[in-house]
Structure 1
């Protein structure tokens, strides 16, 4: 499998930038929504439970965004070190279409599946 061309690397760097901008905008919007929805206090147990569930969901979304921003930062480091597009597990090139779909990918598809399987919880979730 061929390594990435400079044009492909440049295209993927632009995709990383674009994805980071989108995530930061979504995080900003979530923070604004959280501030706005922090309005009146819950009036009963049902309202309190709903408010708690919404806060946990918001926290999970923000955690996901932070993890993705970390993946983007790590991808930029790999770009600078000329190791971008190489699977961290098997050392084989990550196919360009996979990187187009998820430019921060650190593993090829088979290794990513193996990684997810190994780190899944008892119910199949991570």
Structure 2
């Protein structure tokens, strides 16, 4: 069980809500930008290559956003199961300052370091 107070948990839920709202807004803006970009016709090979590069970058950003939204969904499930704020590896509470900085944290800092050392750090993971 986490050592979080009701006030701390409420503050973290607000952070998750804000983060989700911001990501969804960024995804919507990116979709509009992608639509406008797709409507332009390339006039030469250089522009065609540029469009391809932009599409790959847009896809990478969209995947990053999807991963962040998935992490938020997992955090919400852990809140519902009363396991939020507890390290997946050692079972110890994740300190509140870490959760404030990274509200989707699944591990305490020492366990996260070990995890990254053993498996590498996926992009966007702290």
The TM-score, its normalising length taken from structure 2, stands at 0.89
Q: Which residue of 1 aligns with 2:52?
A: 52
The higher relative CO (CA closer than 8 Å, separation ≥ 6) is in: 2
Q: Which residue of 2 aligns with 1:8?
A: 8
Q: Which residue of 1 aligns with 2:78?
A: 78
Q: Which residue of 1 aligns with 2:115?
A: 115
Measured in 2, the distance between the counterparts of 1:40 and 1:8 equals: 48
Moved over 4 A (4+): none
Residue aligned with 1:65, SS: helix
Aligned-pair CA distance for 1:46: 1.5
Aligned-pair CA distance for 1:36: 1.1
The TM-score, its normalising length taken from structure 1, stands at 0.89
Deviations 1:2-31 (Å, cap 9, x if unpaired)? 711111111101111111000000000000
Q: Which residue of 2 aligns with 1:106?
A: 106
Aligned-pair CA distance for 1:114: 2.4
Aligned-pair CA distance for 1:125: 6.9
Measured in 1, the distance between the counterparts of 2:41 and 2:81 equals: 51
Q: Which residue of 1 aligns with 2:19?
A: 19
Q: Which residue of 2 aligns with 1:33?
A: 33
| CA root-mean-square deviation | 1.7
Residue aligned with 1:38, SS: helix
Provide the aligned length of Structure 1 versus Structure 2. Answer: 122
Residue aligned with 2:39, SS: coil
Aligned-pair CA distance for 1:40: 2.3
Measured in 1, the distance between the counterparts of 2:122 and 2:24 equals: 26
